[in-house]
Structure 1
Amino acid sequence: MEQTELSNGIQIIHAQNTFSKVGHIGVFIGVGSRDEVLGEEGVAHYLEHVIFKGTKKRKAYHVLSRLDAVGGELNAYTTKEETCVYASFPVDYLSRSIELLSDVLFNSNFPKQELEKEKEVVIDEINSYRDSPSDLIFDEFDKYLFKGNPLGNDILGTEQQVQSISRKTVTSFVKKHYVTQNLVISSVGNYSIQKLKKQIEKYFSHEANVSSPNKKRVCPQKIPLNDIVLKKNLHQTHTMLGGRGYSANHNNRPSLLLANNILGGPAMNSRLNLNIREKHGLTYMLESNCVMYSDCGSFSVYFGTDNKNTAKTEKLVRNELQKLCDKKLGTLQLSQAKKQVKGQLAISMENSLGVMLAHGKSMLLFNKVDSLDQVLKEFEAIDASQILDVANEVMAPSKLFKISYY
């Protein structure tokens, strides 16, 4: 893993591999939905769609076909704190991919007709979430947890907000945020960083702005939250228990991640899964999550279950949370938990696209990327008292509020 920087402030991180004929490269912009000001709601995500709708030298079809023609892919995503436009491609087409990414990021001309057409696509996307309570409840959770702060806004915006986005709003947002000092380029592939940098310099050598965009991010205030139960005439009840967690920069971040993995991580032997799904057969969908932003975070447990089993399932979830708060892990339990998370991390390194995305996100958040060995050492250093402390600080049932659809 190697890092370098262009004279205009664009940071580059590259992991060279020799086992794949496929490369991945992503341009990360340090702006997300929480950076939208009043009147801009939904524009960060909307841009993710419309930057592919034509540039000064390419129509929309030619943008989409440029990598498709050689079996590659062009894609993008938006979160609350970042936007990423990325390409996957046969390594022989590195130059083509970098040129295309530069073209859509810096030369998109946002044709008015395409802008209006894409609004309908985004509104359909919004409506698809409305029809999926297991997705919608996560947005509702953030809305209440971060009430009064842009972090609580839906990334997609509302139908009314999307309809009101003007071309001027789009171009102003790009001019303000899509600047070199706000960009990170992350890459994984079988080519050297020297070759990569040469191509990036060719297509990304734009002049640096006089100053970086001034992000006025405000950490959401903690407010008392009451339980919320909403009738939606569903076949199931969808429930989230949650509250505030840690930021990505918090010293106890690794301990909370390990505690969450023990409780309701992706493995089938998580405590929630073993007790509620395997032992009692009460739910198919069940997970716990830690979401960490630059200045704050959230913790939650989600489950969907038959209406008649909701109370029992919630009681079992709360019992598991309380156990983690009350009983310190034994030496063997802690060792097994560490071994599991270290194995999961090692396996994740086999996913080159995932590695590229993780590196880019890390550069935006921390201005560095830790090696796998460094991360594993952080987890190895955790003791049982730290797990108990973070559980009581973040996961205690008395500190969580509930939102439920039925």
Structure 2
Amino acid sequence: MNDELIWRSELPNGLKILLLPNRLPVAHVTLYLNVGSRDEAPSENGIAHFIEHTLFKGTTHRKSFHVLNRLESVGGDLNAYTSKEETCLYAAVMQPYIGRAVELFADVIFNSVFPENELEKEKQVITDEIDSYRDNPSEQIMDDFEEHLYSGHPIGRNILGTKSTVRKFNRKDVITFIQRHYHPSRMLLAVSGNLSLAKVELLAQRYFTDAPFPAAEFSRPAFSNYIPFEKVIKKSHYQNHCVIGNLAYDMKHPRRTPLALLNNYLGGSAMTSRLNLVVREKHGYTYNIESGYQAYTDTGLFWVYFGTENGLHQKTLEVIEHELSRLRERPLGPLQLLQAKRQFQGQIAIAAESNANRLMAYGKQWLHAGFIESLVNTLDLIENVKQDDMIEAALEITNPMAMSTLIFEARQRGKPTK
């Protein structure tokens, strides 16, 4: 397999530029900002996400409708998201409109006006979004688990914020946060398109050179003092919901790939994952069960989630612990390890068929980790995982003494109607 072309550059103001050549009719443009919810002060909790919502409410050059219509009028798609560590704007357009997307991104980042009436409306939208997560226990328990795991640290706070903090935001708060964080030295422009790196550089120089805010000092306090916990919260649900987990490797750690492989084998998306086969197919204890591994810049999170009826959650936990102990104590056989590798490699390769997926993955890696693992690099890293690597990761990350547990326990209530 030949490695792909990945072009990189950086402007004098620190803006990173990434180009993946793409001759298909559709191009993709992504702008990453190295700022997320972990960069907020306690009183600002939720403001990074709030700003992402309100960037499209009008600029000094365009009204809100014209912002939205700028790409939609040529069949393009515009969207954005906020995470713990980044804000991302992304668009899909036909190849001739790449420059239009780049210009629009610069306009909303540097020239948004944030009308007070629009801010007030968006507060209601986001408080409704918060309620929608509260109505979904499988979503809420993950947010609550991270909050307890990273107790007292910004990375544990909910990305959406709270109703209390969101309702207090005003235009001054928004502008202050933007001036502190929205500088090209904290940005990465990524393009998948049929144009040269020189052309992308020209577009970036044209629209991102004259940033209205000076660069500010930027640092993130590392999390420390993890204390494992066990917590049960009564909820008016029909099911018990449970998360068990621990701190895990950051995105630069040498054992991140063995842990990712272990996680996929244990509770990944395939129906043949160990947890699905044993907990669901063999015992019938649960409908939903999965494991996950989230790597951040300086920490990480490993978890197992399941939902089950009130009387079965302890039995389910016992089966999960048995599977974790097997991973700690018994290396996978040569054939098992080979099959686990082929499955994980295939899933990653299929996902990488999407130019958008690949562009966003590479952009995020370069933004946060300072390197890019191409598809070939990633497949090679998986191929080189040894049995001992898996055992070491399992021993360290699934150590029972270090695992935390959060349970949403269902209160007694009437049976649901059929």
| TM-score for both structures, normalised by structure 2 | 0.93
User: Structure 2, unaligned stretches of length 5 or more?
Assistant: 1-5, 411-418
Alignment match of 2:71 (pick from 67, 72, 82): 67
* 1:127 partner letter: D
**Structure 1 CA distance for aligned equivalents of residues 376 and 229 of structure 2:** 42
Partner of residue 199, structure 1 = 203
Equivalent in 291, 296, 311 of residue 293 of structure 1:
296
Q: 379-388 or 366-375, which moves further after superposition?
A: 366-375
Quick check: 223-232 or 52-61, which moved more? 223-232
Q: State the 1:365 CA deviation.
A: 1.3
Aligned length: 404
CA apart distance, 1:107: 0.5
Deviation at 1:240, TM superposition (A): 0.3
Identity value in percent: 42
SS at match of 1:39: helix
Letter in 2 for 1:300: W
Could you say if the C-alpha distance between residues 104 and 260 of structure 1 is closer, same or farther in structure 2, counting changes exceeding 3 Å?
same
Q: Which amino acid aligns with 1:385?
A: D
Query: 1:312-336 CA distances to partner (integer Å, 9 max, x unpaired)?
Result: 2121111111111110111111111
- State yes or no: 1:275 paired with 2:278: yes
Stretch deviating more after TM superposition (393-402 or 319-328):
393-402
* Corresponding residue number in structure 1 for 2:101: 97
TM-score for both structures, normalised by structure 1 = 0.96
2: CA distance between counterparts of 1:296 and 1:177?
22
Q: Distance in 2 between matches of 1:178 and 1:148?
A: 26
- SS in structure 2 opposite 1:283? coil
Q: Distance in 1 between matches of 2:214 and 2:64?
A: 32
TM-superposed deviation, 1:396: 2.8
- What is the aligned-residue RMSD (CA, Å)? 1.4
Equivalent residues of 1:243, 1:399 under 8 A apart: yes
Write the deviation string for residues 253-283 of structure 1: whole angstroms up to 9, x where unpaired. Answer: 1111111111111112111111112222222
**Map of 1:54 onto structure 2:** 58
What are the superposed Cα offsets for residues 57-77 of structure 1, whole Å, 9 maximum, x if unpaired? Answer: 111111111111111111111
Deviations 1:362-383 (A, max 9, x none): 1111222122222222222211
- CA offsets, 1:211-236, max 9 Å, x none? 4x333322222332331111112011
- 1:2 corresponds to: 7
Distance in 1, matches of 2:205 and 2:226, equals 47
**Cα distance in 2 between the residues matched to 1:345 and 1:208:** 40
1:169-318 correspondence runs (5 A): 169-207=173-211, 211=215, 213-318=216-321
Tell me which moved more, 394-403 or 102-111: 394-403
Aligned-partner residue type, residue 5 of structure 1:
E
Q: How does 1:248-397 map to 2 (within 5 A)?
A: 248-397=251-400
Distance 1:85 1:17 in 2: 20
2:47 equivalent among 9, 28, 43: 43
**In 2, are the aligned partners of 1:42 and 1:158 still within 8 Å (CA)?**
yes
SS in 1 for 2:304: strand
**CA-to-aligned-CA distance 1:106-140 (integer Å, 9 cap, x gap):** 11011111111111111111110111101000110
